[in-house]
Structures are given as structure tokens and as C-alpha cells.
Amino acid sequence: MKRRTLVQAAAAAPFATLVTPSARAQAWPEKPIRLIVAQPPGSGPDSIARLVGEQLAQKWKQAIVVDNKPGGQNAIGAQAAARSPADGYNFYFATSAALVTNPYLFKSLPYDPLKDFAPVGMIGRVPFVLAVNPTSPAKSLQEFIAEAKANPGKVTIANEGPKTFGGMMTRLVASQLGVQVNAVPYVSIAAAVTDTVGGQTEAVMGDVPALIQMVKAGRLRPIAVTTTKRVTGLENVPSLSEAIPGFDYAGFMAIVAPAGTPAAAIQRFNRDLDGVLSDKEMAAKLLTVGPITEGAGTPEQMAAFLQAEHARWAKLTKEIGILPE
């Protein structure tokens, strides 16, 4: 009897070893999840984080607590996320500024975007658009370029500032087109849009969600988008790549976790995030507030994407003469 008991125990042991990790993975999450957002409540990223978070909360039967930590060009939120416990219950809803561009704009940061975070999954890309006031003589991108060449430094383009995505796109476009423009910085994209609609500036460079309502109302005329692919809702608007071969830039939003977060939590989050983003109704909702999603991808794909973006932005900032400050 003793021998039979030992044999049965030995036979059962491998099975127990195989089942336990799977059971633990399926048990996650066992408590509410904290999602840090580096923008204030009501902002675009905050709205998107809450929209996605609601769907994930329903899947997991656990609350997702959005923790807003705005300020410092995303640095405050990113630092808080990087220093959070890597226990599988702390995640960061990050933008391209936090994960890619900040290191090329600031001499020192309280976090390392590549070392302090583990990729989880992409939310989507956010194209930018160059639009003019309807009274502008430029009816197309080609006419806008011609006007800028004929009047060096006089064509005004509103943006959020030299160290924002829109500001850098303004300088990059001017550099690659070989024209001089007057880039006018504003404290927010909303203020930049308001002045362009009012005629104080001729054009504005901003993300599609910030401009789309004024475009639909006919108060702004879009003349180019920053992505190679044409943008849903702006299908008749050409890409800047038609004037600048290979031009393809967009902001992005993604989920990352503190480095050292258990792989099981990351894989489960990634799988369910992809399921949420792959839903056609959800994708349509996201389009109304920001990103164009193609699913979450894999953590490995996101890691490769981030490495490539860092190489690209290192080159871009040198080209347009931006130095870390």
C-alpha cells in the first residue's frame, strides 16, 4: 500500500507542476489595477484610457483605477509609473513623448524610458494634420509650399511649442521642404486652433482629434496629414509623403509596466487588450477621440518599435537642430 501511494504521488507531481502556473495566470487579476495617466482628467489620453479601461474591467471583473499625474512634459507620471511596485497591478498609459521624444528634449529625466518599463501593448497611432484658415490663398499642399517659398518667414503655423510633437513636425516639414515659416508657439493646441480659426495665424499643425471638428464645420481646411496612409475621416487629404518621400510620423499611445512586472500579468493584459482593440465598435469609438488602432500587437513587437523610434527621433532632432535642455 505504501509503494502504491508513493507511485501515485510521483505520477501526480508533474501534473501539479504543470497546472499551478496556468491556474495562477488565469487568477490574475485578483484585485483592482492602477493605471497611471500623465495627463489631466478630461484630456484626450485620459478619455482613451478610461474607455479602454472600462472594457478591460468588464473582462477581468476587477476595477481599473485611473491615477492622473499630469505635468512636466509627462515626466511626473512616467516617474511615478517607473517607481511603482512591479507586482502586476501597476501600469502606465504612455504617449510618444514619455517613451520616445523626451530623452532628446531634456538633458536629464527622472526615469529611463527603455530600462524602466516593460512593453505591454500598443493602443494606436495618432496622425497629425496641417490645416489652414479657409481664407488662406493656399487651397492645396502644393500651393502652401509655393506661398511659403515666395514669402520666406512670413507664413505662420500655430503649434503647441517647439518641444511638442506638433512643434517638431512644423520644423521638420519646413526643413525637408526647404522653406522658412514662422512657427508660432501656444500653451495648448486648443489655443492654437482658436487663433487659426480666427485668422491670427494662417495654418496650424495639430493632432487629428484636436482639429477634426473644426475641419468638419468648414472652419479649417486640411491640406496634408503626417502619415503615409490617408486618415479615416480625411480620406481626401493627401499625405505629406507625396511632397516629402518617405515622410511618415505620428504620435502614439501604449501600455507599459514597471520593469520586472511578472510575465504572466503582461501576457494576459496584452491578450485581453488586443481583444478589446480588435472589436470593430471599440475601434470606431477610439477614432472619434484619437488613435487609429490596429490591435495591441505583442510585447516583443512593441519593444522593437520603440527601439526603431528612438533611432529615428535621435536623427530627426539633430536634423532640425533641437538640443536637450
Instruction: Report the share of the chain in percent with pLDDT over 70.
Output: 92
Least-confidence region, from 166-170, 230-234, 296-300: 230-234
User: At residue 20, does pLDDT exceed 50?
Assistant: no
Residue type, 285: K
Q: Averaged over 81-92, what is the pLDDT?
A: 98
Least-confidence region, from 3-17, 60-74, 268-282: 3-17
Q: Averaged over 89-106, what is the pLDDT?
A: 94
Report the C-alpha gap between 132 and 39 in whole angstroms: 28
User: At residue 15, does pLDDT exceed 90?
Assistant: no
User: At residue 147, does pLDDT exceed 90?
Assistant: yes
Domains by residue range for the chain, with CATH: 32-126+250-319 (3.40.190.150), 127-242 (3.40.190.10)
Report the C-alpha gap between 211 and 81 in whole angstroms: 30
Residues of 239-266 as b/e, b for ≥16 C-beta within 10 angstroms? bbbebbeebebbbbbbbbbbeebbebbb
Report the C-alpha gap between 306 and 117 in whole angstroms: 11
User: At residue 18, does pLDDT exceed 50?
Assistant: no
User: At residue 322, does pLDDT exceed 90?
Assistant: no
Dihedral pair phi/psi, residue 60, rounded to 5°: -90, -10
User: At residue 21, does pLDDT exceed 70?
Assistant: no
In the 3-class helix/strand/coil scheme, how is 118-186 assigned residue by residue? EEEEEEEEEEEEEEECCCCCCCCHHHHHHHHHHCCCCCEEEECCCCCHHHHHHHHHHHHHCCCCEEEEC
Mean pLDDT, the chain, integer:
89
129, 237 Cβ separation under 8 angstroms: yes
User: At residue 81, does pLDDT exceed 70?
Assistant: yes
The three grid cell numbers given for residue 210, joined into one nine-digit string: 484636436
Q: Averaged over 278-304, what is the pLDDT?
A: 89
How high is the pLDDT of residue 320? Answer: 80
Question: Cell 539633430 belongs to which residue?
Answer: 318
User: At residue 256, does pLDDT exceed 80?
Assistant: yes
pLDDT category at 1 given cuts 50, 70, 90 is very low
203, 187 Cβ separation under 8 angstroms: no
How high is the pLDDT of residue 26? Answer: 62
pLDDT category at 9 given cuts 50, 70, 90 is very low
pLDDT category at 99 given cuts 50, 70, 90 is very high
Report the C-alpha gap between 90 and 253 in whole angstroms: 17
Residue 26 makes CB contacts below 8 A (sequence gap 6+) with none
Apex 228 CA angle, 208 and 191, nearest 5: 20
Least-confidence region, from 19-23, 109-113, 152-156: 19-23
Dump pLDDT digits (tens) for 177-190.
Answer: 999 999 999 998 99
How high is the pLDDT of residue 16? Answer: 38
Residue 245 makes CB contacts below 8 A (sequence gap 6+) with none
Report the C-alpha gap between 82 and 80 in whole angstroms: 6
Q: Averaged over 245-253, what is the pLDDT?
A: 92
211, 129 Cβ separation under 8 angstroms: yes
Dihedral pair phi/psi, residue 128, rounded to 5°: -110, 160
Question: Can you say how many angstroms the Cα of residue 161 is from the centroid of all Cα atoms in its chain?
Answer: 18
Question: Can you say how many angstroms the Cα of residue 44 is from the centroid of all Cα atoms in its chain?
Answer: 11
How high is the pLDDT of residue 286? Answer: 86
130, 227 Cβ separation under 8 angstroms: no
Cis check for the bond before 29: say yes or no (omega within 30 of 0): yes
Q: Averaged over 37-47, what is the pLDDT?
A: 90
Residue 203 makes CB contacts below 8 A (sequence gap 6+) with 130, 131, 132, 133, 136, 138, 144, 155, 156, 157, 158, 196, 223
Q: Averaged over 193-216, what is the pLDDT?
A: 94
132, 202 Cβ separation under 8 angstroms: yes
- Burial grade of 67 (CB within 10 A; 0-12, 13-18, 19 or more): middle
- Burial grade of 64 (CB within 10 A; 0-12, 13-18, 19 or more): buried
Instruction: Report the share of the chain in percent with pLDDT over 90.
Output: 71
The three grid cell numbers given for residue 58, joined into one nine-digit string: 468588464
Residue 204 is inside which H or E element, if any? strand 203-207
For the chain, the residue count is 325
